[in-house]
Amino acid sequence: MICYFDKSNNRLVYVGKAANDTYWDQHWKSESSKLKEQIKVKNDRFIIGYTKKYLPPGTKIFEGGCGLGEKVCALHYHGYDAYGVDYAKETVKKVNRCAPELKIKVGDVRDLQFPDNFFDGYWSLGVIEHLYDGYERIVSEMFRVLKPGGYLFLTVPVMSPLRKAKVKRKKYLEYKESEEMRDNFYQFAFDPKDVVNDLKNRGFKLVDVKPYDGVKGLKDEVLILKPFLQYLYDKKNRASNLVKKILDIVFRRFANHICLFVMRKVETNWS
């Protein structure tokens, strides 16, 4: 994956593999060797913690781009009326076979088959950055299906202070649009202020912002540390998880790869 800086749009552009439905089916296939065990995980501290902070069990929660469905599963088992869609058809088929009790189906987050004002909460975990032509249609649907006062929980890669410092020092290649670049586009990383302003202009107000994943941000941007941090990042035991947690606390405000934006739908629609 090669990272470029798109000066005209103030964002990073990652080029390498096209993030289409075929890519995601292959990606989730490689992750799904233990699908039955993964999807039955009932406790996701991050998802459940933030959802419970703003919405009580029993409310309708949606995940757009739900992949293997483990977040929908966790919400379901914590008492939420949970739904999910993904456009990776083969992945959704596997999830439906393993967990038919979950309300997960094939769908397009740009054209959701749900009524207006249907959900109390909407989770979008690393989705909007993969649309080369922009996320306006996704955000429009988010607004439409959320009830007035409903919450949007949005995570997206961002230009951290570390990445902004690298931009100033011209450490990224300059992005020049071409058919080849477009065909191999993977994702953007946005300036957090731009994301917040876009969502405000589309009918949401900011409730909270949480930077996180400082280990990945540091790993991807500081090459001299990459071998050690990659080894640590891939490890899943208790000791490595503790070290990662400590490093994330130390570095996430400087080197975070992602931000969680908690937004609330205001009463008046946008045009």
**Residue 24 clears pLDDT 90, i.e. is over it:** no
Q: What is the DSSP string of 179-222?
A: HHHHHTEEEEEE-HHHHHHHHHHTTEEEEEEEEE-HHHHHHHH-
List, in order, residues 6 or more apart from 139 with CB less than 8 Å away. 128, 198, 199, 202
Please list the helix, strand and coil fractions of the chain in percent, rounded to the nearest 5, in that order.
45, 25, 30
DSSP 3-state of 78: coil
Helix intervals (H) in 32-116? 35-39, 45-54, 70-77, 89-98
Superfamily of domain 18-157+187-211+259-265, CATH level 4: Vaccinia Virus protein VP39 (3.40.50.150)
Give 176-235 pLDDT, tens digit per residue.
999 999 989 999 999 999 999 999 999 999 999 999 999 999 999 999 988 988 888 888
**Residue 75 clears pLDDT 80, i.e. is over it:** yes
Question: Confidence class of residue 56 from pLDDT cuts 50, 70 and 90?
Answer: very high
Give the model's pLDDT for residue 171: 96
Provide the 8-state DSSP code for 253.
Answer: H
**Domains of the chain: which residue ranges?**
18-157+187-211+259-265
Give 122-160 pLDDT, tens digit per residue.
999 999 999 999 999 999 999 999 999 999 999 999 999
Give the model's pLDDT for residue 270: 46
Give the model's pLDDT for residue 33: 56
Amino acid in position 215:
V
Q: Cβ distance 218 to 165 under 8 Å?
A: no
Beta strand 11-15 with 2-6 is antiparallel
- Mean model confidence pLDDT for the chain: 90
Give the model's pLDDT for residue 271: 43
Report the candidate in 147, 129, 150, 149 with the shortest Cα–Cα distance to residue 138.
129
